[in-house]
Structure 1
Amino acid sequence: MPPATLPDLLAPGLRLISVGLNPSPASVAAQVYFAHPRNRFWPMLDASGLIDETLSPSPDSMRRLFEAHRIGFTDLVKRPTAGVAQLRAADYRAGASALRMRLHGLAPRAIWFQGRTPWAQYLRHAEGSSADGDWGLQTQSIDGVPVWVTPNPSPANAAYSLPELIRQLAELATWLRLGA
């Protein structure tokens, strides 16, 4: 039987936890976050300076990100869909509550939301507040952990170019290196 979703890659004390909206069917089939061939996550990651090596979408790369670079992965909603339009309010409500529980006590250096939608839905349903709409470091935190928001690298989010995605992730990488 094929897997129903992507497993969380989470542990206490990570450098960074990436939070996506929800997995795509391609990612679930490959068991790799951001596995769709047109997703710009991997080129963005490679060019941003967040890690010091070039990786491609594979289970080995996921292990390398987790073990060597201390980057964890999860999603707001664990139910895979082909697009955001297939998600419902109930998915966001349940997902935000479950994400809050998954993140509690992990104490990474930062939590990185990939897109305004997962961040805004998390805040709405788990914290009862709203986002201010800016990219980058947020005024709100989760259990005292700083939160960063960058545009989602999905091919459906064509409003943001690869150079802009790289620039935004490079700001997070610099912030992490400076120990802010």
Structure 2
Amino acid sequence: MPDVAAEGLRVLFCGINPGLLSAATGHHFARPGNRFWPALHASEFTPRRLRPDEERELLSYGLGITNVVARATARADELTRTEFTEGGRQLEAKMARLRPKWLAVLGITAYRAAFDEPAAAVGPQERLVGGVPVWVLPNPSGLNAHYTPAALAEEFGKLRVSASAED
């Protein structure tokens, strides 16, 4: 699954790993129940709701997408601890190379596993990844019942305000 990325982005969003539909279509967050695209628009990162096949348009807004783990699965809980640890190491190198203003990890469990931060909470983190500040957002999967669409958009919006304040 190719990244949607470039050097110097405002925010590089980092999913856990591609779902099977995303891998099949070649587009990030392709499952209709995934709330990434609606949250991105509702939080005013984008002027309209983009479709997964329009993902490259994110670059024009200073945004991009990558994943912690490259392997596609039906569910993130199919990934191993080793895959998360290795994914964290690869993200360190990727962030050092791309230097976005923020790395936004989509999923507290993925962040905790990839960077051995068991007490981490949603929001900005103390840790830098490859010299880049990290903001952990809730997982936008439709399977994440802990966050309503409005609450998810609110969390995305906090990052947007912070990222915009630095422009």
TM-score (norm 2): 0.93
Does the 8 A contact of 1:21 with 1:117 survive in 2?
Answer: no
1:35-73 Cα distance to aligned partner (Å, 9 max, x none): 101111111111111122331221xx211002x112121
Does the 8 A contact of 2:94 with 2:130 survive in 1?
Answer: no
| Pairs within 5 Å for 1:150-169 | 150-169=137-156
Q: Distance in 2 between matches of 1:116 and 1:134?
A: 7
What is the CA-CA distance between 1:106 and the residue it aligns to?
1.5
Q: Percent identity?
A: 34
3-state DSSP class of the match of 2:114? helix
Q: Distance in 1 between matches of 2:9 and 2:125?
A: 19
Larger mean Cα displacement after TM superposition, 84-93 or 111-120 = 84-93
TM superposition outliers: structure 1 runs of 4+ over 6 Å: none
Q: Does 1:110 align with 2:97?
A: no
Q: Distance in 1 between matches of 2:91 and 2:131?
A: 15
Q: Which residue does the alignment assign to 1:142?
A: 129
TM-score (norm 1): 0.86
| Pairs within 5 Å for 1:12-91 | 12-58=7-53, 61-66=54-59, 68-91=60-83
Aligned-pair Cα RMSD in Å: 1.5
**Any gaps of 5 or more consecutive residues in structure 2?**
none
Larger CA Rg, structure 1 vs 2? 1
Q: Distance in 1 between matches of 2:164 and 2:89?
A: 31
What is the CA-CA distance between 1:131 and the residue it aligns to?
4.9
